[in-house]
Amino acid sequence: MIQGKKIVLGVSGGIAAYKAVELLRLLVREKAEVFVVMSANAGKFITPLTFESLSGNPVYQEVFGEQSSASMPHIRAAENADLLVVAPATAGSIGKMANGLADDALSNLYLAFRGPVLIAPAMNDGMYLNPAVQENISRMKERGVEFIDPEEGELACGTVGQGRLAEPSRILRAVQTRIAGKEDLTGLKILVTAGPTQEPLDPVRYITNPSSGKMGYAVARQASLRGAEVTLISGPTHLKPPAGVKTFRCKQAGEMLALVKEHFPDCDVLVMVAAVGDFQPDTVQKEKIKKKGETLALKLIPTPDILLEASKTKARQMVIGFAAESQNVVQSAQEKLKRKNLDLIVANDISAPGIGFQSDSNQVTLIDKEGTINSLPRLSKQEIADVLLDRIKANEENKL
């Protein structure tokens, strides 16, 4: 329910600015009180009059205009609103927000704003994939800002790719989830594992897998944003720990097992997202193995089974596993669910192109111990994390 909630809609200067009108209409229809703030260039695409008429509130557009006074009641109201959603967010405005620059109404308000922030980028696919833009997005995510990923499809510039503003109905749903679920996991202790493991062969070589850690970090970040007390045990990744999450780093499966054993007894839920390697070399060479032009045979032994070990000592805890499968996805996941005494398993088909490892989105199936199978559409990892956390919340409510 967003009825009566104060929401700031930030609009920046992209071709999708007209879709902000549709989003505003949806927010107003849900009876939210909306204040629109425009970037320096948004007015080149759409007039403030449209937003003013539909929201019933003055639009904040000029830092040095007549309405610039810090005591302007509508600017104060915007700063103290329940949520800020920027849609569309241009590459330029994202760059300013990520770097703390404040030279227009939107970037000033963003810095002054203390509540939750949602950003819906929209731009040409080349701009979106540019490392500078991606770095800015990662930096903001690490600070707790939520992103509603742009969709793939035909773009205004004539190319096809990822960059189209998420549908206004999807943005509305994200706003509703964020406001409704603000603190809905308060009191819950969630232990999350993420990333790959590395098993050394010698001082300079190791066996690993392409897991980026993005899914596990998304679960940790969203759980923390929703009020849970989160502990993250992470294999080697390039990601920064989400704000407010107690994070422990490790490399080998054995180290991850030790950390899980230490923290599991105190948690309510274990979400085992880490892609733990199944094998490790039976011996680790002290010196670098020399290249002699001969075939090198490796003897591999199984790594410890962290999920199984945790499940053995499970008392009140809910235990959730992930299964990356390349064939018979649902059947293999069901077997793993039973064998490891899990409450829920999240299965994904790693043979499908463009999703899963490294990617920001995935297509997964949730299977619970009662046998219910729920196949989700392709979603961002953040959205998948929220669906998973909704299941955790429902499970906790059933215990009452």
Ligand X SMILES: Cc1cc2nc3c(=O)[nH]c(=O)nc-3n(C[C@H](O)[C@H](O)[C@H](O)COP(=O)(O)O)c2cc1C
Contact 220, 193 (CB under 8 A): no
Q: 344-349 and 364-368: which strand pairing? A: antiparallel
The residue among 39 and 380 lying less far from ligand X, judged by its C-beta, is 39
Decide: is 235 part of the binding site for ligand X (CB under 6 A).
no
# residues contacting ligand X (CB under 6 A) = 17
In the complex, least distance from residue 61 CB atom to ligand X, rounded to whole angstroms: 11
- Interacting residue with ligand X among 13, 150, 168, 213 (CB under 6 A): 13
Decide: is 16 part of the binding site for ligand X (CB under 6 A).
yes
- Interacting residue with ligand X among 46, 51, 78, 93 (CB under 6 A): 93
125-164 residues near ligand X, rule: CB under 6 A:
127
Interface pattern 98-127 for ligand X (x via CB under 6 A): ------x-----------------xx---x
DSSP string, 264-291: GGG-SEEEE--B--SEEESS--SSPPPP
Q: Taking contact as CB under 6 A, which single stretch among the options 39-47, 62-70, 187-195, 274-282 is the one that binds ligand X?
A: 39-47
Collect all residues with Cβ–Cβ distance below 8 Å to 354 and sequence separation of at least 6. none
In the complex, least distance from residue 122 CB atom to ligand X, rounded to whole angstroms: 5
Decide: is 39 part of the binding site for ligand X (CB under 6 A).
yes
Decide: is 41 part of the binding site for ligand X (CB under 6 A).
yes
Decide: is 84 part of the binding site for ligand X (CB under 6 A).
no
Q: Which of 314, 331, 328, 317 is nearest to 367 (CA)?
A: 331
Collect all residues with Cβ–Cβ distance below 8 Å to 294 and sequence separation of at least 6. none
Residue that is written with structure tokens 């054995």 in the block: 254
Q: Write the CA distances from 89 to 35, 153, 157, 229, integer angstroms.
A: 16, 18, 16, 31
CA–CA gap between residue 322 and residue 275 (Å, rounded): 8
Q: Which residues are identified as catalytic?
A: 157
Decide: is 40 part of the binding site for ligand X (CB under 6 A).
yes
The residue among 101 and 376 lying less far from ligand X, judged by its C-beta, is 101
Contact 275, 211 (CB under 8 A): yes
Give CA angle at 131 (125, 133), nearest 5°: 65
Decide: is 321 part of the binding site for ligand X (CB under 6 A).
no
**Alpha helix (H) ranges present in the chain?**
17-29, 48-55, 73-79, 91-99, 105-112, 125-129, 131-142, 168-180, 214-225, 253-263, 306-312, 329-339, 381-399
Q: Write the CA distances from 47 to 7, 13, 36, 65, 182, integer angstroms.
A: 20, 11, 11, 16, 33
The residue among 42 and 109 lying less far from ligand X, judged by its C-beta, is 42
- Interacting residue with ligand X among 10, 14, 242, 321 (CB under 6 A): 14
Decide: is 319 part of the binding site for ligand X (CB under 6 A).
no
Q: How are the residues of the chain apportioned to helix, strand and coil, as percentages rounded to the nearest 5?
A: 35, 25, 40
Decide: is 63 part of the binding site for ligand X (CB under 6 A).
no
- Interacting residue with ligand X among 90, 303, 317, 362 (CB under 6 A): 90
241-300 residues near ligand X, rule: CB under 6 A:
none
In the complex, least distance from residue 74 CB atom to ligand X, rounded to whole angstroms: 20
- Interacting residue with ligand X among 9, 20, 42, 256 (CB under 6 A): 42
Report CA Rg, the chain: 23
Where do contacts with ligand X occur on this chain (CB under 6 A)?
A: 12-16, 39-42, 90-93, 104, 122-123, 127
